[in-house]
Amino acid sequence: MFVLLGHVHGWAENIDTLRYRQLPGYPFVYVSDAYVSTPPAISDSLFDMVARGLRFKVNRTELLEDDPFIALYNDSLVPLLKEKNLVLRQVFVKGAASPEGPYWNNIRLSRERTRRLIEFLKSNLDQPIGNCTTDAKCVTEDYAYLVKLMELAGDEEYEQVKAIWDRSKGDEHQCKRELMALNDGKTWNRLLEVYYPTLRQSRVVLWFTVNPDRMPMRACQITAEAALPMVTPLPEQLNLMPASAKTYRRRHLIAARTNLLHDFAYVPQFGFAPSGNIQLEYYPLTGHYTYNAGFTFSNHRHWENHKFMQVRDVQLELRRYFKGGGAFLGTYLGAYAQGTVYGIGFSQTKGWEGEGGGAGLTLGHTCRLNKKGSLRLELSLSMGAFITRYDPYVWGNPINGTIDGLYYYNYRGSTSQFKKRNHRFMWFGPTNAGLHLTYDIIYRKKKEVTR
């Protein structure tokens, strides 16, 4: 207990808890009585502990509609501020970029992200932010926050990365060079996947005072027993657990998918012709891209009326989901390649067998069907080119018309000159349509290191 309180006090030493109180449930909002005129002293370390804000995609500065901070601010915090008639006094905001990418571009990103957050804050608050003090900072590549995240996560390479940052003495170029060379680049690649998405954000701490025309807000009056935890959030409150108490959540690794349009297919001149089809999709932990492999199989043989539908098709696909962050939901664009062998017959005189291949693009959209997201529905349409070489075949000898119970290639030339696959066909246009059901069959555990 004494160790815990001592550690907490180290975080809160710059805040006078009698004059500045954190709004319960919102650690990034400080509230004072109207007579307090001096803003709270928000050190960099305290800012990193309590600030919240907006995340951004790689190399982007526009707001993400599903960012959790947007809902927290618009739907929860702003109504409370209006209800209690709190007056905005000061804004502490910091925009940053993750270390990958050119340094000059990261300068632009950090400035734009800072501006975006300020614009967002005043969008629903109905208070002129321009009339209060704004303490804005732009951190081009936020290595200090990276070190803090690694410390709170109990990362095994924390000491190495911290030593590089300390040795660089704030020189971001030097720090970047040494980090990229550490462990032959393996550490840099791991940081890129695990921590850098958290660095692509703009964060804020707000200071409000109680309107002097109203009584002090009871919701901000915190008892002595509750004051310390509210002003000094512990690592578990930030979802950044120490190594002895790491938490995990399940993430999809591989999903199986079937196309209902193939499962219940109807072919003109043939009839009902369902196909067995299965696709497997591999999901990385983060990013936009997934990898797919699919196989379609049908084996319909109706000897009595000479109808056949025997198809073997293999397809590989690379998808890019427009929404990042590892969710792999919403609209995507895919590039595919396929190979097919087939034997198809509609009647005694209409039959074909051959091989083909093609490639093209797929546009699709995926949405959840259950709360966990393990079951999903997908719509897709593929456009591309398909080239096949084939031979027609008929029932009976095509030269003398003898019906001997055999199928023959529909060829009337010299048998010595016959070569298989005399015919060629190329198609360009729609190649597939899908109404898919997708279900996660293999999961992975993802370490929770970001908030």
**Structural domain spans, the chain:** 2-243, 250-447
- Residue 412: partners with Cβ closer than 8 Å, 6 or more residues away: 398, 399
Range scoring the smallest mean pLDDT among 207-216, 318-327, 398-407: 207-216
What pLDDT was estimated at residue 231?
35
What pLDDT was estimated at residue 414?
80
The token pair that represents 32 in the structure block: 């004072």
The token pair that represents 88 in the structure block: 């905005």
In DSSP terms, 86 is beta-bridged to 210
Place of tokens 């002129």: 128
Angle at 100 between CA 99 and CA 102, to 5 degrees: 100
State which amino acid sits at residue 106: N
N-term to C-term CA, the chain: 26
- Beta strand pairing call for 276-282 and 289-302: antiparallel
Q: What is the distance between the alpha carbons of residues 187 and 4, in angstroms, rounded to a whole number?
A: 31
Q: Percent of the chain, pLDDT > 90?
A: 48
What pLDDT was estimated at residue 235?
36
What pLDDT was estimated at residue 242?
37
CA distances from 436 to 172, 290, 295, 336, 338 (A): 48, 16, 14, 16, 18
Question: Is a pLDDT exceeding 50 seen at residue 10?
Answer: no
What pLDDT was estimated at residue 451?
40
What pLDDT was estimated at residue 37?
82
- What number is the average pLDDT over the span 331-348? 95
- Residue 157: partners with Cβ closer than 8 Å, 6 or more residues away: 150, 187, 190
Q: What is the distance between the alpha carbons of residues 400 and 394, in angstroms, rounded to a whole number?
A: 13
Enter the DSSP assignment of 404.
-
Q: What is the distance between the alpha carbons of residues 327 and 372, in angstroms, rounded to a whole number?
A: 12
Please report which confidence band the pLDDT of residue 398 belongs to, taking 50, 70 and 90 as the band edges: confident
Question: Is a pLDDT exceeding 60 seen at residue 375?
Answer: yes
Question: Is a pLDDT exceeding 80 seen at residue 438?
Answer: yes
State which amino acid sits at residue 433: A
Do the beta carbons of residue 145 and residue 48 sit within 8 Å?
yes
Q: What percent helix, strand, coil does the chain show, rounded to 5?
A: 30, 40, 30
Please report which confidence band the pLDDT of residue 41 belongs to, taking 50, 70 and 90 as the band edges: confident
Q: Read off the pTM.
A: 0.48
Q: What is the distance between the alpha carbons of residues 327 and 251, in angstroms, rounded to a whole number?
A: 9
Do the beta carbons of residue 292 and residue 317 sit within 8 Å?
yes
Closest CA to 319 of 225, 382, 244: 382
Question: Is a pLDDT exceeding 70 seen at residue 105?
Answer: yes
The token pair that represents 363 in the structure block: 């546009």
Question: Is a pLDDT exceeding 80 seen at residue 156?
Answer: yes
In DSSP terms, 203 is beta-bridged to 53, 94
Question: Is a pLDDT exceeding 90 seen at residue 38?
Answer: no
Number of Cβ within 10 Å of residue 311's Cβ equals 19
What pLDDT was estimated at residue 250?
63
What pLDDT was estimated at residue 131?
62
The token pair that represents 428 in the structure block: 């360009």
State which amino acid sits at residue 321: Y
- What number is the average pLDDT over the span 48-62? 90
Q: What is the distance between the alpha carbons of residues 119 and 182, in angstroms, rounded to a whole number?
A: 39
CATH architecture for the domain at 250-447: Beta Barrel (2.40)
Residues 205-245 have pLDDT tens digits of 999 888 776 544 333 333 323 332 333 333 333 333 333 33
Mean pLDDT for all residues in the chain:
83
Please report which confidence band the pLDDT of residue 158 belongs to, taking 50, 70 and 90 as the band edges: very high
Question: Is a pLDDT exceeding 90 seen at residue 278?
Answer: yes
- What number is the average pLDDT over the span 318-347? 90
Residue 122 vs residue 196, higher pLDDT: 196
State which amino acid sits at residue 33: D
Q: What is the distance between the alpha carbons of residues 266 and 297, in angstroms, rounded to a whole number?
A: 15
Q: Percent of the chain, pLDDT > 70?
A: 84
What pLDDT was estimated at residue 327?
77
Radius of gyration of the chain (CA): 32
Residues 175-194 have pLDDT tens digits of 999 999 999 989 999 999 99
What pLDDT was estimated at residue 162?
93
